[in-house]
Amino acid sequence: MSYKDGPAYYYRFSRLYEMHFSLPPFSTWVEKNHESLLACLPEKLSGDVLDIGGGIGRLSRALARRYPGQQVLSIDTSAAMTERARTDAPLENLRFETQSFWDVDGQFDLVVCAGCWEFFQLQPSAMRLVQLLKPGGTAVVNTLGPAVFGRVRESVFRQVFRTDVWLHRPQSLTEELEVRGCRVRWNPVNLLEGSYTLVARRSD
């Protein structure tokens, strides 16, 4: 199995993941992270949307409703998560595919990612993100930095699930994207969790 396959072992249990959404404090954190990301989305959009690591599809659905005139592609390396996502009522402008961030084709006007950047190494992921953005396109990423909860999660994933996790400081991700021609801003969401939302706009 290569790193491109994602943390397939853990996310084979889509029902377990779903429990996050009803288990405080995780449920509150996930909600806050999604809210923060949704608050940073561009008001208008003239092209397609990619949701990376869309999981069971909650955020992907919010994106499809927010941009009814655009197509939203939600990708996830875990077939179990994709299948679970498809069981909710279909939306015309939303499709779910079992695919990896590293392999997906195309360029997008908006690339969104929540709770998944932790599985990506810094420099390759910054390079890949810029490839996926059309000139003038926007990326909105919500992820964990190296704070207390981030470190706990890192250690669980490394030791129990044998999956690599990388916690990037927002400043480091900003630098990597800026040298690749993006304008970047970010804001913290939860200090204990170390979560932040970063917005990058690729130059025209």
Ligand X SMILES: C[S@@+](CC[C@H](N)C(=O)[O-])C[C@H]1O[C@@H](n2cnc3c(N)ncnc32)[C@H](O)[C@@H]1O
Beta carbon nearer to ligand X, 36 or 138: 36
Dist CA 40 CA 19 (whole Å) = 26
H or E stretch including 178?
A: helix 170-178
Beta carbon nearer to ligand X, 149 or 181: 149
Q: How far is the CB of 16 from ligand X (least distance, A)?
A: 11
Contact of 203 with 135, CB cutoff 8 Å: yes
Residues of this chain that interact with ligand X (CB under 6 A) are 6-7, 11, 52-55, 58-59, 75-78, 81, 100-102, 114-116, 119
Sheet holding 133-144, edge to edge: 94-98, 72-76, 49-52, 108-114, 133-144, 195-202, 182-190
Q: 139-155 burial, b if ≥16 CB within 10 A, otherwise e?
A: bbbbbbbebebbeebbe
Dist CA 115 CA 22 (whole Å) = 17
Beta carbon nearer to ligand X, 98 or 181: 98
Beta carbon nearer to ligand X, 46 or 152: 152
Q: How far is the CB of 102 from ligand X (least distance, A)?
A: 6
Q: How far is the CB of 14 from ligand X (least distance, A)?
A: 8
Dist CA 61 CA 54 (whole Å) = 9
Q: How far is the CB of 129 from ligand X (least distance, A)?
A: 12
Beta carbon nearer to ligand X, 12 or 183: 12
Q: How far is the CB of 11 from ligand X (least distance, A)?
A: 4
Among residues 185, 189, 193, 129, the alpha carbon closest in space to that of 167 is found at: 193
Contact of 137 with 107, CB cutoff 8 Å: yes
